[in-house]
Structure 1
Amino acid sequence: MKKILVLFLLISLQAGAQSSALSIADSLYTVGNYVAAINEYAKEGNAQASLQIARAYNAIGNFDKALAQYDATLKSYPKMEIASFEFGKLLLKTKNYRPALEAFNALIAENQQNPEYFYYLGRTLENSLKQEEANAAFRKAVALDSTHLRSLYSLGKYFVGQEIRDSALVYVDQGLRFYENDVSMINLKAQAYFNNGQFQPAIPWFEKLIGLGEDRPFVLERLAHSYYRSYENEKAVETYRMLSVVPGYLADAYLGMGQAFMQDKQLDSAQVYIKKSIEERTETFEKEYADLGRIARLQNKTKESMEYYKMAWEENKENPYNYYQVCVLADEYYKDPKTRLPYFERLLDLYPDLPPFLKERVLKRVSEIKEEIHYAGN
C-alpha cells in the first residue's frame, strides 16, 4: 500500500512539473517572447506543446519552420483539427495553393458545417484563378452562416469588379443588414452604384464612408465626381478642395474644380483652375487641354478652342476624339472647303478603325465638303 502511495505521489509530482513547465512556456508565448517559449515547449513533447511551437514560429515570421512544425505535429497527431486548419491558412498565406486546397478539402470532408473552412477554401480557389469554384465555396459559407461577412464581402467584391450591380447588392445588403457600419461593405455599395454610372445613389454611401472617418483620397475623388455628375457643383468644388490638401492630388483636384465651375457656367473660374492643374502636373495634360478647348468653344473662341484640342491630341494621339474636335472646329472656322477637307481626310488616315458611328459621321461630312467643292468649281 505504501509503494502504491509513493508511486502515485511521484506521478503527481511529475505531472505538476510538466504542467508548471507548460505554464511557463505559455506565459512566455503570451508576452511575445517566442524564442524562449519555443525552448520551453520543446521540453514538453506533447501535442499542445508541438502546436504552440508551430504557432510561435508563425508569430516570429519564420514561415518555413512554422510549416515544417505544423507538418510534424500532424504526422504525430493526425486528428488535431485546429492544427490542420492553421496549417491550411499558413499554406494559403505563403502561396502554397495546391497543398492548401488539399488541407481545406480534407477539413471539409471531416466537417461540412464550418463556414470558415468553406471561406478559406474559396480564398484558395480564388488565388488559384478558379473564380467560379471560389464563388461556390463562398456561397456555401453564407448558406451555413448568413452573417458570414468575409464571404459576403468576397462575393460582393467579385460582382462589383464585374460591374454586375444587382448581384453585388444582394450580398452587400445582406452584410449591411447584419452590420450597418461595416466600412468594407459600405465601400462596395458605393462602388456598385458608381461603376454603374448611378452617381446620385452612390453619394450617400460615399458620404457615410467619410462620416466613419474613411476620408481617403479614393473616396473623396469619387464622391466629388459623383457630385459633379449629379450637377451638385458647389458640393463637388468643396470636396475637390478637401482632396487638394492630400499630397499628390492637387492637380486632379484643380482639374475637378475647373470642370465643376465649367458645368456651372463660371467659365473664368474654370479656366483658372484648369490652368493651375496644368502647372501642377508633370505628366500629360490631355484632359486639361480638352477642357480648355470646351471652355473656349463656349466662349465662341473657335480658333483658340481648336488650338487647345490640337494640344490635347498631341498629348495623346491614341485618342481620336480630340482630333475629331479639331476637325469640327476647323469646319466651323475656315470658309474655304479645300482647307476644311484635309482635316477630315487626315482623321480617316490616322484612325482607320474609328468607332462605326464616328466613322459614318466623318465619311458623310467628307462627301458633303467634296460636293461643296465640286459645285464651287462649277
Structure 2
Amino acid sequence: MKKYFLWTLVICSSKMMAQLTPADSLVQSGNYQEGIEMYKSESESEFKMARVYAQIGDVYAALDSYQKGFKRDSISVQPRFEYARLALGNNDPVTAFNSLLPLIVEEPNNASYQYYMGKTHEDLSNDDAAISAFAKAVSLNKSYRAARIEWVKLLIKKRRFREAILHAKPALAIYPNDIKINSLIAQAYLGAKRYDKATEHFELLFSLGNDTEYNRKNLAWCYFNEGQWQLSIDTYERYNNDYEAANSLVHFIMSQAYLKLGKLKLSQDYIERAIVFKTPELHQEYLQLATVYVRQEDYRNAFYATKRAKKEKPDDDVIGYQYALAADQYYAGKSKKLEFYEEFIKQYLESPYQEIANARAEDLRREIFLAAKK
C-alpha cells in the first residue's frame, strides 16, 4: 500500500512537471525577465505575466497585463482578487473597491475579501465601513489576526476604547505574548483611563523586549495616575536618558510627582526645567512653580511666578484670580491687596469668580475703613 501511495505521488508530480511551460520553469528558477519574454510568445499567458511583473515590482506593467487578461477571461476569481490587491497596494482604492465588490457579492462569506475591503474603505477614509468589514472578516474567521488588528486599531482611532478592549482580548487568549495585540490593548486601556490595566500590558511589553519611546513614556504616565510617584519619576528619568531629554510636559509631570512626595527642591528644579524647555505658553508651568513656592511658604516668589503665568495667558480668569490671591498672600498692606482684587473685578466681568472676588474686596474696604477710624 505504501509503495502504491509513493508511486501515485511520483505520477502526480510528473504530470505537474509536464504541465509546466518553458517560461514557467524560467520563472520558478528566478529568471524572471527571460520568462516574461517567453510568455509574450505564448497564448493566454497575460495573468502569468502579471504575476511575474508584480513579483519584480513593476506594478504598472502588472496592472496592464491583468487588464489585457480580463478581455479574454473576466470570470476567473484568482486574477480578479490579485488585481484588487495590487491596485490597493498601488494607492488606488477606487479600483480596488470596484474589483472587490463583485467578488464579495459572489462570495460574501470569504473572510479575505472582507479584510481587503476593510483596507480599501480605510484608504477611502470611510472608517465606519472599514470597521464593519474587519468585524465581518473576524466573525468569519476568529483567528484572522490581521483583520482583528486593523479592527482594534480603528476602534481606538474612533475612541471606542471599551469595544477595542473587548475585541482585542480573544486574540490574547490565543497568543498572550503577541506584541502587537498587547500594544493595542495597552493603548485602549490608556484611552479608557484604566491605568492599572494599561500598566500590566506595558510592563509585559517591556518583558518581551518591546521597549519603545511610546511605551516608556506612557508607562510612566500610568504610574503617575496610579499614585506610584517614585516609579513614575524613575521611568520618566529613563525616558529622558534614552529618548527625549527636553520634553517640557515630562518635566512638568515629574515636578508634580516630586511635589506629591514632598521633595520640594526637586519639584522646583524640574518645573524650572519645564519652563526652560517650553515655548511659547508657560502659564501652567509658572502656576506649578507658584504652587511649589507656596508649599515652601515663599509667598514673594509665588506672587512673581503667578504674575508670569498671567503675562503668558492674560485672558484666563482662573489665572487672574490666582494672581489676586497670590498678591493677597504676599503683600501686607490691605490697600495693596485691594488693588489686585479690583483689577480682577474690572478685567474679568464674566468670570464666575466675580462674586468671591467682590466679597473679598468688600472685606478689605471694611478693614481699611475701620483702621482709618482708629
Q: Please give the TM-score of this superposition, normalised by the length of structure 2.
A: 0.81
Three-state SS of the structure 1 residue aligned to 2:95 is: helix
- Please tell me whether the aligned partners of residues 22 and 44 of structure 1 are also in contact (alpha carbons under 8 angstroms): no
Alignment equivalent of 1:151, drawn from 147, 154, 170: 147
The number of equivalent residue pairs is 349
Counterpart residue number, 1:344: 344
Alignment equivalent of 1:259, drawn from 256, 279, 284: 256
User: Judging changes above 3 Å, is the alpha-carbon distance between structure 1 residues 140 and 221 closer, same or farther for their aligned structure 2 residues?
Assistant: same
Q: Which moved more, 1:263-272 or 1:290-299?
A: 290-299
- Please tell me whether the aligned partners of residues 317 and 348 of structure 2 are also in contact (alpha carbons under 8 angstroms): no
- Residue 227 of structure 1: how far off its partner (Å): 0.6
- Please tell me whether the aligned partners of residues 203 and 226 of structure 1 are also in contact (alpha carbons under 8 angstroms): yes
- Please tell me whether the aligned partners of residues 122 and 134 of structure 1 are also in contact (alpha carbons under 8 angstroms): yes
Taking the aligned partners of 2:192 and 2:19, their CA distance within structure 1 comes to 66
Taking the aligned partners of 2:275 and 2:324, their CA distance within structure 1 comes to 24
| Mapped pair 1:273 → 2:270 | yes
Taking the aligned partners of 2:189 and 2:129, their CA distance within structure 1 comes to 26
Counterpart residue number, 1:368: 359
Tell me, which stretches of 5 or more residues in structure 1 are unaligned?
A: 1-14, 353-358
- Residue 37 of structure 1: how far off its partner (Å): 4.6
Three-state SS of the structure 1 residue aligned to 2:21 is: helix
In the TM superposition, 1:318-329 aligns within 5 A as 321-329=318-326
Alignment equivalent of 1:186, drawn from 179, 182, 185: 182
Q: Which amino acid counterpart does residue 355 of structure 2 have in structure 1?
A: K
Alignment equivalent of 1:120, drawn from 109, 116, 119: 116
Taking the aligned partners of 2:296 and 2:35, their CA distance within structure 1 comes to 76
Q: Which moved more, 1:101-110 or 1:53-62?
A: 53-62
Taking the aligned partners of 1:212 and 1:289, their CA distance within structure 2 comes to 40
| Mapped pair 1:141 → 2:143 | no
Counterpart residue number, 1:39: 37
- Please tell me whether the aligned partners of residues 345 and 358 of structure 2 are also in contact (alpha carbons under 8 angstroms): no
Alignment deviations for residues 88-125 of structure 1 (CA, whole Å, 9 cap, x no partner): 12222333222221211111122222111111112212
Taking the aligned partners of 1:142 and 1:249, their CA distance within structure 2 comes to 42
User: Judging changes above 3 Å, is the alpha-carbon distance between structure 1 residues 303 and 37 closer, same or farther for their aligned structure 2 residues?
Assistant: farther
- Residue 315 of structure 1: how far off its partner (Å): 4.2
Taking the aligned partners of 2:28 and 2:314, their CA distance within structure 1 comes to 66
User: Judging changes above 3 Å, is the alpha-carbon distance between structure 1 residues 374 and 287 closer, same or farther for their aligned structure 2 residues?
Assistant: closer
Taking the aligned partners of 1:285 and 1:148, their CA distance within structure 2 comes to 48
- Please tell me whether the aligned partners of residues 240 and 246 of structure 2 are also in contact (alpha carbons under 8 angstroms): yes
Counterpart residue number, 2:76: 80
Taking the aligned partners of 2:276 and 2:361, their CA distance within structure 1 comes to 42
Counterpart residue number, 1:209: 205
- Please tell me whether the aligned partners of residues 327 and 340 of structure 1 are also in contact (alpha carbons under 8 angstroms): yes
Taking the aligned partners of 1:56 and 1:310, their CA distance within structure 2 comes to 70
RMSD across aligned positions (CA) = 2.9
Q: Which amino acid counterpart does residue 19 of structure 1 have in structure 2?
A: T
Counterpart residue number, 1:177: 173
- Residue 56 of structure 1: how far off its partner (Å): 3.8
Taking the aligned partners of 1:84 and 1:132, their CA distance within structure 2 comes to 25
Alignment deviations for residues 157-213 of structure 1 (CA, whole Å, 9 cap, x no partner): 233233333212111112212222222221221122212222222111111122222
Three-state SS of the structure 2 residue aligned to 1:271 is: helix
- Please tell me whether the aligned partners of residues 213 and 243 of structure 2 are also in contact (alpha carbons under 8 angstroms): no
Counterpart residue number, 1:291: 288
- Residue 68 of structure 1: how far off its partner (Å): 2.0
Taking the aligned partners of 1:91 and 1:323, their CA distance within structure 2 comes to 58
Alignment equivalent of 2:93, drawn from 82, 94, 97: 97
Taking the aligned partners of 2:289 and 2:148, their CA distance within structure 1 comes to 45
- Residue 80 of structure 1: how far off its partner (Å): 2.8
Tell me, which stretches of 5 or more residues in structure 2 are unaligned?
A: 1-16
User: Judging changes above 3 Å, is the alpha-carbon distance between structure 1 residues 18 and 190 closer, same or farther for their aligned structure 2 residues?
Assistant: closer
Alignment equivalent of 2:221, drawn from 222, 225, 230: 225
Taking the aligned partners of 1:242 and 1:264, their CA distance within structure 2 comes to 19
Taking the aligned partners of 2:238 and 2:53, their CA distance within structure 1 comes to 45
Three-state SS of the structure 2 residue aligned to 1:245 is: helix
Identity of aligned residues (%): 25
| Mapped pair 1:309 → 2:306 | yes
- Please tell me whether the aligned partners of residues 309 and 322 of structure 1 are also in contact (alpha carbons under 8 angstroms): yes
Three-state SS of the structure 1 residue aligned to 2:74 is: coil
- Residue 247 of structure 1: how far off its partner (Å): 4.2
Taking the aligned partners of 1:70 and 1:319, their CA distance within structure 2 comes to 63
User: Judging changes above 3 Å, is the alpha-carbon distance between structure 1 residues 271 and 43 closer, same or farther for their aligned structure 2 residues?
Assistant: farther
User: Judging changes above 3 Å, is the alpha-carbon distance between structure 1 residues 249 and 86 closer, same or farther for their aligned structure 2 residues?
Assistant: farther
Q: Which moved more, 1:260-269 or 1:148-157?
A: 148-157
Taking the aligned partners of 2:48 and 2:312, their CA distance within structure 1 comes to 60
Counterpart residue number, 1:241: 237
Taking the aligned partners of 1:267 and 1:136, their CA distance within structure 2 comes to 52
Q: Which moved more, 1:77-86 or 1:53-62?
A: 53-62
User: Judging changes above 3 Å, is the alpha-carbon distance between structure 1 residues 21 and 130 closer, same or farther for their aligned structure 2 residues?
Assistant: closer
